[in-house]
Amino acid sequence: MIDHAMNSQRIFVPTPAISEIDSHHLSIVVPVYNEVENVVPLLAKIDDAFKAYPLPWELIVVDDGSIDGTVERLHAEAARFGPHVRVLTLQRNFGQTAAMQAGIDAAQGDVLATLDGDLQNDPADIPRLVQRLLSEDLDLVVGWRRKRNDNVWLRTIPSRIANRLIGNITGVRLHDYGCSLKVYRASVIKEVRLYGEMHRFIPVWMSVRTAPGRIKEEVVNHNARIFGESKYGISRTFRVLVDLLSVYFFLRFLTKPGHFFGRIGLASGVLGGAILAYLFVEKFLFAESIGTRPLLQIGILLVLMALQFLTTGVLSELITRTYFASSATRPYVLRSDGSKILGNPVWKAPPSNNAFN
């Protein structure tokens, strides 16, 4: 029988024992904001989907500063279903990314699942995604809403354009970045810190901490919204474009920012140097007047830009080295089943007949 009290603070639904290879504890994280009408059917659907789940599981619902009575209804429903349902209440509306991060931080299982609280994701899909995560030894399985029940012009088409753009820029190619229904290996997702509105780019951030080949997608159900109002609009497309610039920088240059600024600086320096060399020849070989030519100002400006970018690159390298040296963050992640670097050293014993005996 599995030890359900992994520590004194963990509360999971008791379930029958299973084979060691499949053994895990599952945490389900659901961020909600002003979803008072969806609370009762949401928790009922999750409970129904996991009644026969042969493993310990917990549900963490994070209220992101709702003002419509969602918190009160969540506490009432949590008390009805049992202590394995926990409600986290944020002080104010911090946004979906912060709410999701709060739930991930509070989760105690070694497998995590996230989904939206608007009933458009189907909780019954989670066991299938968990099974694939474990059977194929993956770190992330992303839901793919192949048949979406959303407004085509305001949601579906902009989402497809954004997915294609994100895949081309980041190199992590998925059909549906925006689906909140995802299943993670906790040891990896807890190495990722989410800020701003970066929940859309979780697969990309995960690819910084694990191999892209360990990230797969699975077709899931998608339902039309019945209660409440959508929190997303066409404006999110523009926010995605801005966030994508930050994602690209951190994905490619997190540990080597000097390469990013250095490339721009060298390109500016070469171009500016070539312009000034051309004007030098014009001045001293052909006696041309260059003092009032705009090209002279452009050349000088490019050289100054080069110096600025190269200096910024050096400073950013120093900041990066200071960051990694002064924090617990490392520029690598060890797999849980891989070699151990930390701990007591193991030495190979010398032969008994060596020359020092």
Q: What are phi and psi of 81, to 5 degrees?
A: -85, -30
The answer to whether residues 196 and 219 touch, using CB atoms and an 8 Å cutoff, is: no
Residue 100 clears pLDDT 70, i.e. is over it: yes
Cβ atoms < 10 Å from Cβ of 10: 16
Residue with tokens 């989904």: 115
Can you say how many angstroms the Cα of residue 32 is from the centroid of all Cα atoms in its chain?
18
What is the structure's pLDDT at 228?
Answer: 61
What is the structure's pLDDT at 161?
Answer: 73
Residue 340 clears pLDDT 50, i.e. is over it: no
Helix (H) or strand (E) holding 161: helix 157-170
Residue 341 clears pLDDT 70, i.e. is over it: no
Q: For the chain, how many residues are written?
A: 357
Q: What percent of the chain has pLDDT over 90?
A: 46
Strand partners for 219: 144
Q: What percent of the chain has pLDDT over 70?
A: 79
Cβ atoms < 10 Å from Cβ of 29: 28
- Phi/psi-derived region of residue 343, left when phi > 0, alpha when psi is between -120 and 50, beta in every other case: left
User: What is the average pLDDT score of the chain?
Assistant: 82
- 256: pLDDT confidence band, cut at 50, 70 and 90? confident
Helix (H) or strand (E) holding 62: strand 57-63
Residue 11 clears pLDDT 60, i.e. is over it: no
Buried b or exposed e, range 124-151, using 16+ CB within 10 angstroms: ebbbebbeebbeeebbbbbbbbeebebe
Residue 16 clears pLDDT 60, i.e. is over it: no
Q: Which residue has the higher pLDDT, 329 or 309?
A: 309
The answer to whether residues 26 and 111 touch, using CB atoms and an 8 Å cutoff, is: yes
Q: What are phi and psi of 105, to 5 degrees?
A: -65, -35
Residue with tokens 């070694």: 110
Can you say how many angstroms the Cα of residue 55 is from the centroid of all Cα atoms in its chain?
26
Q: What is the pLDDT of residues 133-144, one digit of tens each?
A: 999 999 999 999
Integer Cα distance of 327 and 116 in angstroms: 33
Query: Can you tell me the mean pLDDT for 4-14?
Result: 48
Query: Can you tell me the mean pLDDT for 252-262?
Result: 87
Residue 288 clears pLDDT 70, i.e. is over it: yes
DSSP letter assigned to residue 121: B
Which residue from 145, 247, 153 is spatially nearest to 205, judged by alpha carbons?
A: 247
Residue 118 clears pLDDT 60, i.e. is over it: yes
Residue 232 clears pLDDT 70, i.e. is over it: no
Q: What are phi and psi of 231, to 5 degrees?
A: -95, 5
pTM (predicted TM-score): 0.74
Which residue from 202, 210, 6 is spatially nearest to 108, judged by alpha carbons?
A: 6
